[in-house]
């Protein structure tokens, strides 16, 4: 969501809000890595071991974190995005929001162990792809043919 929100604001010349003065780290994950992770776990239902208590209910699913597992500082993310757009962002540098954390990233140990997949697209690769997609989608609107009103 940050890539979309920041890209839109930068292209429109609006400032972006940058909390903790950009000194926070987030686990930005490229969409193709998310899709690949979902596909890999889709057809792999968990193996449920026999239980000494047959009445125990065990869910027929597992939960996985699918994330890049490589947190990037927010200012670095913005810097790469600016390079991709060829424009500088107007930054509204703000203090840390109450309740926010300095670093988040996905624990992907279960994903790697169970399906052998680890998302790996760095922001230096994913953001240029995103910007290309954004420009195609939002700067070249789809033109629908004129409606034919003849009966």
Residue 13: which CATH number? Answer: 3.40.50.720
The number of domains in the chain is 1
Strand partners, 92: 17
What pLDDT tens digit does each residue of the chain (151 aa) get? 899 999 999 999 999 999 999 999 999 999 999 999 999 998 777 766 666 666 666 666 788 999 999 999 999 999 999 999 999 999 999 999 999 999 999 999 999 999 999 999 999 999 999 999 999 998 765 555 555 545 4
| Within-domain flag for 52 | no
The full DSSP string for 32-58 is HHHHHHHHHHHT-PPP----S-TT---
- Give the global pTM: 0.81
| Within-domain flag for 53 | no
DSSP reduced 3-state for 74: helix
Domain containing 25 equals: 2-45+60-135
| Within-domain flag for 32 | yes
């Amino acid at each position: 969501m940050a890539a979309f929100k920041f890209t839109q604001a930068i292209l429109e010349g609006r400032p972006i809000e940058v909390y903790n003065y950009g000194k926070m780290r987030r686990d930005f994950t490229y969409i193709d890595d998310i899709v690949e992770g979902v596909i890999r776990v889709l057809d792999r239902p968990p193996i449920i071991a026999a239980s000494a208590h047959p009445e125990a209910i065990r869910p027929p699913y597992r939960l996985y974190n699918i994330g890049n597992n490589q947190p990037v500082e927010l200012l670095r993310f913005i810097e790469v995005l600016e390079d991709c757009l060829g424009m500088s962002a107007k930054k509204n540098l703000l203090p840390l929001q109450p309740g926010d954390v300095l670093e988040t990233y996905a624990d992907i140990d279960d994903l790697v162990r169970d399906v052998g997949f680890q998302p790996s697209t760095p922001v230096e690769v994913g953001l240029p792809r995103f910007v290309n997609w954004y420009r195609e989608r939002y700067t070249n609107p789809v033109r629908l043919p004129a409606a034919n009103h003849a009966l």
